[in-house]
Structure 1
């Protein structure tokens, strides 16, 4: 038995051994992507190929901690119903023995070319990293071609997460990096054939531009064109909190500008966080056959009290966000739930026109553990308006402060913690609740909040409150279960 076969066999045994424990967790979700066992993190290799969406993900099947990651694999024809596929990559070769780390995929000559980081550590913990290539004819099994890029001069071994795209008659790759003077950066490469790559220098970060000296490491870069502008998404590490900004251990966000493929330059604006919530990191996008730019992210953040999650006792950890469609409005990236998610709705739903007068109300038909809640025609005369979800999460808008706040009960110590952002006016809310997760889309996706939360499993109550007169139209749908 080869090393690759042995690792796959051990992973399958781990899934089988703990399956009953995993599915017995009261916090297991219904319509979010989860690992069959163990730990899930970064989305990888997101691509629509021959009519099917493929989303790979970082997977540790043997524990709820990090280690030598595999590439797990889900596929879907509609972004709603997902099939768990066989392992795509196992860390079996010398150039990846400590993990097949994050990367991307591109179609070339009707095949999938997957690029990923091979992680290698010696007995003293010294790291080496290689940007590697694996090729698939069927979207399921991959032939490893080995390293195509070694770390260039000027960077440390913290050099990972290749994202590849085609532009004009060439291919380009961005890699998350740390410079030798310990600054976060995005490295740029170009190629004529996807196997031989030329280092073109630092695209952003390091000592360059508006994000110079911006943390000590950039992870998971993704550069793409959107609405005739160029967007660079990346996840910087080492930022200090600034007021309401950068409150998580690490961040995920973007800059908008213009990439010149001839001079390899990128003139861009200021960094903006993509999501204002507690749990959002390592986003990755693809463009589909309809021309939409679609994003998935890991609904967690590294090094953020992972082992305190209640799901650890049930042998699994972490989930993906829902798929989101991206556009640019007023020089800002807008995120909306993929329209296919309407297929999750059961029946026609319920509609309720509500009026509050400095009170808290419970609407019996507006509750549930797995729902989509839409609030429109919101009128807040003054003061604040709130939604309390299952007694463990609270969304509040203050009209005087023009401030939106998401509070949740900490799964570490039970205290209430918050994330916030400024918002001129609250016009609409779209909220997806799924057992132990919440995703909030405000004003047609102008702001989003993503979070895990762990309410009493018996509590499905949702209440609405205000300090003064307030009115809104609430629409609610129960949502189908598509995962177990």
Structure 2
């Protein structure tokens, strides 16, 4: 961690410098969790994509290893080794990725194989899928998995008729692939809260929950605005196609994208996403003077466990291994709060993990909330509170940074807490990121950039008329153990 940067994370994966984006190639292989990710080894800007590499035996102790895949000058991926996934088979690790070149609007699919535990790869001599099917307007980001005796691949797509799609290919040997048509193709559909599924899908992923039930994850690409948000379709896999149910917004915050799945040895589905910056650039990947100054951009979310309820609800919670990062208990409080009389709950550092129960009074007149105050005069703060009118959880960073280049705004999880009920929360704050999880399985991720020095202060507050109850337990969040085995530019140290 750069010692002088108060916003560099302690418990989230990213290398010491430069640009990162999508998690790629998530796989358990040779006794390790492998997390590859998009990485520019030369600057904090979105360019020159490589696959960088973390691995861990337990999700707590990590090694940052040398870059695993780099563009080949003059080759099919000379414009970048873009997103994809990896599979472990017959003692090998095989990566599938999008081959970027500036003279093609689509990104063909190719592969590379590792015989040394994922440290180095030999690229396939040609392209596995040189071009998309007719009627395709966008094509990138393969996702491959084994289904019985065959292999299946989904590729994120847009179709010329305005639908987003996950196009499917089948193979017996991971070499020869046959086009099987759209696994799912849909016109834009509204999502709970805000947004829709858009006209283009990228980073499509599929989680098989057995008995034909599964979840298709997608990152919604707006042809006019670019990367937008994430969605999940629960449904039933019929092999040739996916019978999708109503789509759900996967994360309700403004800075969560390109989630990728890992099927853990114990059967759990784990998921990481990319949390981009909310600094001075209005568009994702646009040049930012602030990120140029600090020399880094982007981080990976906490690993999350993803489950599918019988009613079709897609649930998320932090991976249970992360409980080991909890250090000293720093907060413990229970009480009642009224409007205009906030309760001081204690102090925190820049990284902490807390659970909270926030009440909506039985008459619906008052709701409880939290305020993280990060400046001595109280002018800099992040609010996490129940809306007094709707009972929805609202996260507001309008006053979260005195730095004028920080982006602002508020977001909500459209899940009503009924009068008389409690909202159960888990909140993980790590220097410049907050990940909030409702006990009902929804998540909201955002970035914020406090300038105030430690200690920070946590308050319980209330909105509306009357009194509302609260209960808080909080712990210091210890850093991940990361052994850097590269020189910061992707070369062996």
TM-score scaled to structure 1, two decimals? 0.86
Match of residue 3 from structure 1 = none
Q: Does 1:256 align with 2:234?
A: yes
Alignment match, 2:18 = 38
1:30-429 equivalences in 2 (<5 Å): 30-93=10-73, 94-122=75-103, 126-137=104-115, 138-146=117-125, 147-156=127-136, 158-181=138-161, 183-205=163-185, 215-226=198-209, 228=211, 229-238=213-222, 250-261=228-239, 264-300=240-276, 303-304=283-284, 307-308=287-288, 310-329=290-309, 330-363=311-344, 365-376=346-357, 378=359, 380-381=361-362, 382-389=365-372, 390=374, 391-409=380-398, 416-425=408-417, 426-429=422-425
Distance of aligned partners of 1:292 and 1:96 in 2 relative to their CA distance in 1, 3 Å threshold: same
Looking at structure 2, the residues matched to 358 and 248 of structure 1 have their Cα atoms a distance apart, in angstroms, of 41
Task: Say if 1:119 and 1:130, in contact at 8 Å, map to a contact too.
Answer: yes
2:487 maps to none
Q: Residues 309 and 317 of structure 1 are in contact (CA less than 8 Å); yes or no, is this contact kept in structure 2?
A: no
Worse-matched range after superposition: 267-276 or 22-31: 22-31
Q: Distance in 1 between matches of 2:414 and 2:481?
A: 35
- Write out per-residue CA displacement over residues 208-245 of structure 1, whole angstroms, 9 at most, x where no aligned residue: 9999x9533210001121264211000122289xxxxx
Given the superposition, is the C-alpha separation of residues 377 and 317 from structure 1 closer, same or farther in structure 2, using an over 3 Å criterion?
A: closer
Larger helix fraction of residues: 1
Question: Paired residue for 2:469?
Answer: 471
Q: State the SS of the aligned residue for 1:313.
A: helix
SS at match of 1:290: coil
Gaps (5+ residues) in structure 1? 1-18, 241-246
Which residue of structure 2 lines up, in the alignment, with residue 243 of structure 1?
Answer: none
Give the C-alpha shift of residue 423 in structure 1: 1.9
Inter-CA distance 462–349: structure 2 relative to 1 (3 Å threshold): closer
Q: Distance in 2 between matches of 1:214 and 1:338?
A: 27
Question: CA offsets, 1:269-317, max 9 Å, x none?
Answer: 1221101111110001111111100000001289337544844311100
Superposition deviation, residue 162 in structure 1:
0.4
The alignment yields a C-alpha RMSD, in angstroms, of: 2.7
- Structure 2 residue aligned with 1:455: 450
Residues 437, 377 of structure 1: CA spacing in aligned structure 2 closer, same or farther, 3 A cutoff? closer
Q: CA-to-partner distance for each residue in 1:63-110, whole Å, 9 max, x for gaps?
A: 222122000100111112221011110012501000000000111111
Mapped to 2, the partners of 1:28 and 1:430 lie a distance apart of 21
Q: Unaligned 5+ residue runs, structure 2?
A: 375-379, 483-493
- Is 1:432 the equivalent of 2:428? yes
- Provide the aligned length of Structure 1 versus Structure 2: 451
What is the CA-CA distance between 1:365 and the residue it aligns to? 3.2
The 1-side partners of 2:404 and 2:185 are apart by 34
Partner of 1:8: none
SS at match of 2:180: strand
Measure how far apart 1:117 and its partner are.
0.6
Distance in 1 separating the partners of 2:71 and 2:137: 18
* Deviation readout 1:354-379 (Å, 9 max, x if unpaired): 32122443535342211001113746
Q: Is the 8 A contact 2:385 2:394 kept in 1?
A: yes
- Distance across 1 between alignment mates of 2:478 and 2:43: 29
Q: 3-state SS of the aligned residue for 1:46?
A: strand
Contact (CA 8 Å) 2:358, 2:367: kept in 1 or not?
no
User: Is the contact between residue 345 and residue 460 of structure 2 (CA under 8 Å) also seen in structure 1?
Assistant: no
Please report the TM-score for the alignment, with normalisation by the length of structure 2.
Answer: 0.85
Is the 2:169–2:181 Cα contact (8 Å) retained in structure 1? yes
Equivalent-residue separation in structure 2 for 1:309 and 1:375 (angstroms): 37
Describe the SS at the equivalent of 2:356.
strand
Per-residue CA deviation, residues 155-194 of structure 1 (Å, 9 max, x unaligned), is 5573111000001211000001122445422110000001
User: Could you say what secondary structure the match of 1:341 adopts?
Assistant: helix
